[in-house]
Structure 1
Amino acid sequence: MDVKLHLTVHEARRGTEAFRVVRPARPPEHAALFDDAWWLNAEVDRDAALLMAGLWTLAATSPRTLVHLPLRGPTPPAGSRRLDLVLLHHSLQLAPSRWKELRGRLSPGRPRTVEVSLTEPAEEEYATLHHADDRDHFHQSVHSETLFMTGSARPFRLGAAAFLDVARRGPAYVDPHPDRAYNCRHYCATVRCAPRARDIHVQYREPPAPREGLQP
């Protein structure tokens, strides 16, 4: 499955260092990332899930590019805080504590459209997650109200697959217990992280119904 990503490309310099930062030209309307202390919860509709899958794929295939996703979702639940997201290949060696300074040095940006292919990772890539000696995990930290996900190409591919799964199956999911007193159309997937880090719980959310105009 191919998707087109409409992006804005920025550059930042610090001494002899140069960084390329990409952002969606338009942040997703129905997406949120919450730090719930025990969990990291991402809530997305189909369009946002496809965008996220594309951005995580871009991070896997463009190791010299830092991907920044501003998220302006709904008010976070009590006891939670809303986060932005940064995806970066570990070879960039950018400490999250430097992000605020780097963000302030970004150029105005130029538009660019990139087409990426969303594919399911090979079964053996999933299998290695359970190996005791596997060290190829995401490393994460939260700084300046932003979640930083640092890793190699493989975990980014697996993360993209989680969002693609939610985009494909979430909208058609049917509540298996429709007779309950409340509706619970809960379809989710997981982005796996290092053993001592918190996984990201990716949950499908229907976009809110459009508000009807006032009747005369």
Structure 2
Amino acid sequence: MRLRLHEFRPGTGPYEHRVVQPRHLLRHTSLTAPDPIGLLLGDHDGLNTLAGLFSFAAHSRHTLVHVPLRDGVPPDEGWGERVDLVLAHHTLGLRPSQWPELRRKLRRATPLTARTDEARTARDAASWHERQKRADARDDLRHATHARTFFLFGTREVFAETAMDFARAAGWGPRQKRVAEGHSALMAGLPLIQPPGGGHPVEVLICFKAYPPYAHFRRPGR
């Protein structure tokens, strides 16, 4: 997939960070942070772009991927306050409290075009699945919410697996029953690390949602 991005190089003290954003707003995609359940609603283009961004994040250890999702079209279902999304490798050491200062410095953008490698993403996702079979597997996404932003921290393999989930949601979501009538379709969930102590599991549901007017929507093959 070819991704059209904006690249920023903000600095904090002696450090320079690399931040990328999709060049165009994902107008019909929204996210609410889990409390304990969050919801990511997206149309085909939004879910497909997120698949590409997670794939990009998987193989860009020193890059923050920022996806503005608060300014799109408000969804007609769901709950909670909408948030943006930031993806970062756990080895980068980003603290959510650093993000507001970095975000204020995202001013001078450079156009960037990147290509994702779907075959490599699939191999890394397969490696994640193999590791999850072990009793001591711990390779899920760490998460935090701060400053109206939902942060996901992970490894190459778990970002690749999540990219595959979004790709499947984008491809098969439009084929689900009743989506042409405006109903959302649950397609997957983010593999999140659960907090200690039990209780309701923390989840973010990934759903396909066509956008109105629904009379214009056609399921594939129709």
What corresponds to 2:109 in structure 1? Answer: 109
The residue that corresponds to 1:129 in the other structure is 132
Q: Distance in 2 between matches of 1:111 and 1:78?
A: 34
Instruction: Please say if residues 60 and 157 of structure 1, whose CA atoms lie closer than 8 Å, have aligned partners that are also in contact.
Output: yes
Secondary structure at 1:82's aligned position in 2?
Answer: coil
Counterpart CA distance in 1 for 2:46 and 2:79 is 24
Structural mapping, 1:51-70, within 5 Å: 51-70=49-68
Please tell me whether residue 206 in structure 1 is matched to residue 210 in structure 2: yes
- The amino acid across from 1:98 in the alignment is Q
**CA deviation profile, 1:132-158 (whole Å, cap 9, x unmatched):** 311222110000000000111011001
For residues 162-205 of structure 1, give each alpha carbon's deviation from its aligned partner in whole angstroms, at most 9, with x where no partner exists: 10010111111235xxxxxx975624112201132723210000
Give 1:9 deviation, angstroms.
Answer: 0.3
Would you say how many aligned residue pairs link Structure 1 and Structure 2? 204
State the TM-score, normalizing by the size of structure 2. 0.83
What is the CA distance between 1:38 and its match in structure 2? 2.2
1:34 deviates by 1.2
2:25 to 14, 24, 27: 27
- Name the larger-Rg structure: 1
1:75–1:189 distance in 2 versus 1, CA, 3 Å: closer
- TM-score, scaled relative to structure 1: 0.85
> Aligned with 1:48: secondary structure?
helix
Distance 2:53 2:36 in 1: 25
Q: What is the CA–CA distance in structure 2 between the aligned matches of 1:66 and 1:149, rounded to whole Å?
A: 10
How far did 1:75 drift?
Answer: 5.3
CA RMSD of aligned residues (A): 2.4
| Aligned residue type for 2:136 | D
State how far apart, in whole Å, the 1-side matches of 2:208 and 2:98 are: 32
The one-letter code sitting in structure 2 at the alignment partner of 1:203 is: C
- Identity of aligned pairs, percent? 29
The structure with the largest helix share of the pair is 2
Structure 1: where are the runs of 5+ without partners? Answer: 176-181
The runs of 5 or more residues in structure 2 that have no matched partner are 196-200, 217-222
SS of residue paired to 1:170: helix
